[in-house]
Amino acid sequence: GVTRLDSIKQAILLFVNSKLSINPDHRFAFATLSKTASWLRKEFSSDVESTIASVRALSATTVSTGQADLTNLFRLAAHEAKKSRAQNRILRVILIYCRSSIRPHHQWPVNQKLFTLDVMYLHDKPGPDNCPQAVYDALVDALEHVSEYEGYIHESGHGLPRTLFRFMSMLLSHPQQRCPQDDCDIPKPLMKKSAESANGEDNNVHVSTSR
């Protein structure tokens, strides 16, 4: 069957191809997080073939210690963000986090917001060894602490690929053109949409475009 990692790889490629169809000047790099973050592909590129090769190189690893330090990820991102600004670009980090029992932590200045952080949290069901709510809360805190523009966070505990693809599609919106996530209710479930239409309510759909 399709593993969670398979779905993540497909979602990343969906995102990259969609962004490049919007604007072929978008560029991508990849990093991984074990105890701390390290580059998988440091060079930012719009080349699809090198992206496919990088994504294929991703593998799931078992973390033996309960550590997930985001500090180096933020340090790498801040360094690249400064270079991006010099090129009149903005930098965005999409963190795909899949640990249900390890709360991420960081040491980062509260007033240093140089990039936008989006988070996709894919977790297991709560249990004796899992604390997905506490992990989610820590991810929200990290996002609010470091994100320059409106960062989005999505979570899923059932691992369906279509849910992951829907979330990734919502991250296509440009960080400078987003509505607050609390106001963002697209895509609406069809049943809910039909019920609201039947009640004569207006459907306000917020559309964000990338350039």
pTM of the predicted model, to two decimals?
Answer: 0.85
Residue 56 CA from chain centroid, whole number: 18
In the chain, the percentage of residues whose pLDDT exceeds 70 is 85
Q: How far is CA 57 from CA 6, 51, 52, 108, 149, in A?
A: 12, 10, 9, 29, 30
Helix (H) or strand (E) holding 33: strand 28-33
pLDDT at 45: 96
Read off the pLDDT of each residue in 19-28 and give the average, rounded to a whole number.
96
For the chain, the average pLDDT equals 87
Residue 143 is assigned to a structural domain of this protein: yes
Show the 3-state SS of 51-70.
HHHHHHCCCCCCCCCCCCEC
pLDDT in tens, 161-171: 888 999 999 99
Residue 200 is assigned to a structural domain of this protein: no
pLDDT in tens, 99-129: 999 999 999 998 899 999 999 999 998 999 8
pLDDT at 105: 95
pLDDT at 31: 95
Residue 39 is assigned to a structural domain of this protein: yes
pLDDT at 205: 44
Residue 211 is assigned to a structural domain of this protein: no
Report the number of distinct structural domains present in the chain.
Answer: 1
Residue 60 is assigned to a structural domain of this protein: yes
Residue 197 is assigned to a structural domain of this protein: no
Read off the pLDDT of each residue in 8-21 and give the average, rounded to a whole number.
96
Contacts of 51 (CB under 8 A, 6+ apart): 12, 13, 16, 28, 30, 45
Q: What is the band of 210 on the pLDDT scale with cuts at 50, 70, 90?
A: very low
- CATH code of the domain covering residue 105: 3.40.50.410
Which one of 32-41, 68-77, 162-171, 181-190 scores highest in mean pLDDT?
68-77
Residue 127, domain extent: 4-182
pLDDT in tens, 176-192: 998 888 877 665 555 55
Residue 201 is assigned to a structural domain of this protein: no
Residue 88 is assigned to a structural domain of this protein: yes
